[in-house]
Structure formats: C-alpha cells, structure tokens
Chains A and B, each alone.
Chain A
Amino acid sequence: MDGATAFDLILSGDRTLFAIVRLSLTVTVLATLLAAVVAMPLGAAVALTRFPFRNVVIVVLNGLMGLPPVVVGLMVFLMLSRSGPLGEMGILFTPTAMTIAQAILVAPIIAALTRQLIEDLWTEYRDELTAMEVGPIGRVQTLLWDARFSLVTILLAGFGRAAAEVGTVMIVGGNIDGFTRVMTTTIALETSKGNLPLAIGLGIVLIALILAVNALAWSVREWAERHAG
C-alpha cells in the first residue's frame, strides 16, 4: 500500500483493502451477535429474578463494560497459546480467536444495557405478566421480544466497541498480512511506518463504515417499527 492514499485505494477498488474491510466486518459482526446470544438472555434474567448478592452482580456487570481490550486480549492469548490450557485447538493468530476475544469484550456491555432496559420495561409489564401467570423463561422471552427495537441500539453499542478497538485483535490475531489484519491494526501499522496520510485515510474509511452500519440498522428499525404497527 506504500505511497498510495486511502482514497486512491478505494477508487481503484483495491483488493487488499476490501479483504481487510470484509474481515473487519465479519469478525466484528459475528463477535457482537455471539455476545448477544449469551448476554441478552443473561441481562434479562438478572433483571427479572431476585437472588442473594444481586446488587453485587449488577455492579460487576456494569463495571465490566469498561473491560480494557488489552487485558481481554492478554487473557485470551494466554488461554489459546500453545503453552496455555486451550493450546491444543491451535487457533491463536486466527480470525476465530479474534472473534472470541471481541465477543468477551462486548458481552458485558450488552448484558448490562439489556439488564437496565428490561428492568425498566418490567415495571410496565409486571401486573399483566403476573396476572397471566407467565413463568420466568416466558417473562424473559416476552420482554426481550417486546424490547427488540431498543435492543438494536444496544447491539450497535456493542458493535461500535468491537469495531473501534485494536488491543485485543492485535494480541490474539497477530496482525498477519492477508489473514488477521483488520482496519484498526492496519491503521496502527501504517502509523508506525510513518505513513500518516494513508493511516488517516483508512481511519476515515473505518468511521464511514461504522456510520453506514448504524444508518442501516436505523433504517431497518424504522421500517420494522412501522410494520409492527
């Protein structure tokens, strides 16, 4: 990519750039969805049940929203390294490892925000669901479904966090050219090579991508809300 600016690369449809963008999106979207599958029901369950030390769990969940990416990266690295407990899998320095690490990073954000959202919604639904004698699992399902449009915003918060971070993917992905190199690690690399115009160009591309994903999600939400009556 030496010498060329990011805009030249986009205009010329540079294949390397597209591969990097595609990998960034794949890893980030998969990580967000993977985290959501676990974290949304978990957040809702915490919101709807009463158990000992529940306040502690909520504080911890909220606190974990600030998990430092580099620490998550290091922990996943130590797990997946050949000398670590899961080394047999041999997935360190692969996109799979990057997806897992980002899912761990994003899961607390989704769980904590879902917990708050569902708890607020519960005050509206309590009488009705109690009268209908809906069980705990039914409550989680009902409330998650009825909050689905707001949950999209929570997904986007998770996506934004994953798309913007460089610490975990650098450590567990290794920034391998053509294999685990994503937008943020490319920007970091080009910066370190003193290739500042290309780095800032790629930065603008990344911001545009994140905006585009948000715009898409917004339109889908608008459309769905209208059709849901």
Chain B
Amino acid sequence: MKAHGLLIAFAATLLLLTPQAQAQDKSIVVASTTSTQDSGLFGHILPMFKAKTGIDVKVISQGTGQAIDTGRRGDADVVFVHAKAQEEKFVAEGFGVRRFDVMYNDFILIGPKSDPAGVKGGKDIVTALKAIEAKASPFVSRGDKSGTHAAELALWKVASIDPAGTKPSWYREIGQGMGAALNTASAMGAYVLSDRGTWLAFKTRDALEISIEGDKRLFNQYGIILVNPEKHAHAKKELGQAFIDWVISKEGQAAIASHTINGEQLFFPNAGGATN
C-alpha cells in the first residue's frame, strides 16, 4: 500500500536529518549559561577550538541550575557554569568528574539613570540593596536558579533582607535569562544584578546604566566540569576532556582573554588546575 512507502520515506528522512551517524560523530554537547552565550564568548572561542581539533561543540545555553541538571540527567558531556557551590555539589554527588576554574568577571548592579534609590556611584553593594529596600524601588530578579540568581540571593542575605521569601511588591522575579531580565528592568525602570559580559553585549540599554561596580563581593567565577562516564556511560569522555584541556590551556586562556566588545575585555582567565 502507498501509505507504507510514505512511512518508510519519512522514517528515512528523519534519520537523515541527524547529520552524522553516532559512531563517527565528532561532537560534544556543552551545557552552559546564558552569559557565556549572550556575551558572544562561544562565538569567539569555539571556531578556534574546532580549527585545532575538528571537534564540534554544541552549546545549550541555560541558567546554571538548569545546565547542571542537564549534566545530571546525562544530556550533556561537559558543564560550563558559574555557581561554585552548586558545581561542587554536582561533583560531590558523583555526576561530575572534577571541577576546574576557567575565568572570572564581575557582577554589576544595573539601575535606571534616574536612580530612584540614590545608590549610583557607590562601592558597597550591600548598602545599595538596603537603600533599594528602604525606598521600595523596583528590583528585577532572575528567579531562575541561575548563577546570577544564586549570587543575588547571597547578597540579599548579607544585607539581612529576604525579598525572595517575603515577596514585597517592588521585588519582581521573572524566571528568565539575563537578557530578558535587562529588557524587563529597562521597561520597568528597575534595578537588576547582571554579569558584566551580558551587560557589555546587551543592545537595548535605553535608560539603564551601571549603578554599582567594584565591590569584592561581586566577584563571578566560572568553572568547567566533565560529566562522569561512570554515571552516564555514553558521555563522551575523551572529546569532552579534550575541550576542558584546551579551555584551561595557555592557548584556550589566551582565546578567552582576546574576546572584547568595544575594546573592553569580558572575561579574565584564571585557570589553575582542579579545585577538588
């Protein structure tokens, strides 16, 4: 019957859609954060890695919490994120092999140019958060368990304020990526914590500007971990390790350092071996 022929044709086309057969597929899946993708870092360094090794790196960009979960499920070979506590837990539970420091940049507090909380130009993030609460100025939270969200919650804790728990009307959790949070803050005239890379690459700044930067507590460390083949036998151990080795090598570190936007460096390499 005709229908059978059609079905077989569809099945064949479906198979063809997956470009390479699994056996000769020289590619890995890296679960990473929105900041590394949106800031253009991967677009800058991956072609160099591919040219050297011939390995295709497929990047899924998610919040750090979700990216780690992708690794935990075995749907990625490498996890490249920025929330040290969660990363160390991932390794301790046996889902990751070892964690390596890769690079850092810093978080910045972004706010409306009108500066309703009067915090602009300060050096102390905790004082600024207290002022935002006192004035009940709108604040946009990622609310998505990303690395930036974790950092934001930790800073509120230092300020002894718990907006995520008490949910005041000025505190708005949007549950989306960094770019979406900046868009929302721009539209609402709100403050928002951002990583510097995404901010530098962000196009529609409109009425937003940097309110606070330079506080030591705004340090933002990135780490890279191979998904443990003992937990997920199909994880591509050699190819994944090759990527990690390159990222923390002199060459990979130089590639990271050479990524700039308008002459400004986005990430500062600081690989120094395994941290656990």
Contact = CB atoms under 8 A, between A and B. Distances in A.
B38 A82 contact: no
B130 interface: no
Interface stretch (A44-52, A192-200, A203-211): A192-200
Interface stretch (A92-100, A123-131, A161-169): A92-100
B190 to A, nearest CB: 15
Nearest to A195: B203
B13 to A, nearest CB: 6
Nearest to B46: A177
B180 interface: yes
Contact of B205 (A93, A179, A194, A195): A194
B89 interface: no
B112 interface: no
Contacts of B75: 81-83, 92-93
B73 A83 contact: yes
20 contacts: A26-B17, A30-B13, A33-B10, A81-B73, A82-B74, A82-B75, A82-B232, A92-B75, A96-B17, A100-B14, A174-B60, A177-B43, A177-B59, A179-B19, A179-B58, A191-B183, A192-B179, A192-B180, A192-B183, A194-B204
A175 B61 contact: yes
Interface string B2-25: 010011001001110111001000
Nearest to B60: A174
A87 B75 CA distance: 9
B29 A99 contact: no
Interface of A: 2, 26-27, 30, 33-34, 37, 41, 81-83, 87, 90-96, 99-100, 174-177, 179, 191-196
Nearest to A92: B75
Interface centre among B15, B61, B203 (most CB of A within 10 A): B203
Contacts of B38: 192-193
A204 to B, nearest CB: 18
A193 B73 contact: no
Nearest to B29: A93
Contact of B60 (A26, A87, A176): A176
Interface centre among A94, A95, A194 (most CB of B within 10 A): A194
A37 B183 CA distance: 43
B60 A82 contact: no
B18 A194 contact: no
What 9 pairs between A and B have smallest CB-CB spacing?
Answer: A82-B74, A192-B179, A194-B204, A174-B60, A194-B203, A176-B58, A95-B17, A83-B73, A194-B202
Nearest to B34: A192
Nearest to A88: B234
B73 A99 contact: no
A196 B180 CA distance: 11
A194 B58 contact: no
